[in-house]
Amino acid sequence: MIDLFNIGSLVFGLIAWMLPIVNLMRYKRPPNNRNWVALSILSISACAISLCLQIFNIYHLVKIEDWSALLDTMGTVVFIATILLVVTIILNIITLIIYRNRTAK
């Protein structure tokens, strides 16, 4: 069951990236596309769930006192979590800028 934390984190991380990409691909469609805000909120929520699952995994490793696993993986977990967060924020900011300019016209 503990492996599901990592798999779930990966799935939610991919969802966090795919939702803004879907928003950006739908930009050229007719202007009645008003659900971009909901997709952006879902994207940020998926990113938060992904990071939360990683925290649960780290908590489990501390609870079972698997210090070698923590020492081996923490650098990579921090690096990947940072990339996930930064890319998710950038994609959602790009979506916000593009759709804000479209609704302002």
User: What pLDDT is recorded for position 100?
Assistant: 83
User: Residue 69 contacts by C-beta under 8 Å, 6 or more apart in sequence?
Assistant: 61
Q: What is the pLDDT of residue 34?
A: 72
Q: How many CB atoms lie within 10 A of CB 56?
A: 15
> What letter represents residue 99's amino acid?
Y
Read off φ and ψ for residue 30, nearest 5 degrees: -55, 155
How much is the pLDDT for 49? Answer: 98
105 has a pLDDT exceeding 60: no
37 contacts 81 by C-beta, under 8 angstroms? no
Rounded to 10 degrees, the C-alpha dihedral 22/46/93/80 comes to -110
pLDDT tens-place string over residues 37-73: 999 999 999 999 999 999 999 999 999 999 999 999 9
Supply the pTM of this predicted model: 0.89
Q: Is the pLDDT of residue 1 over 90?
A: no
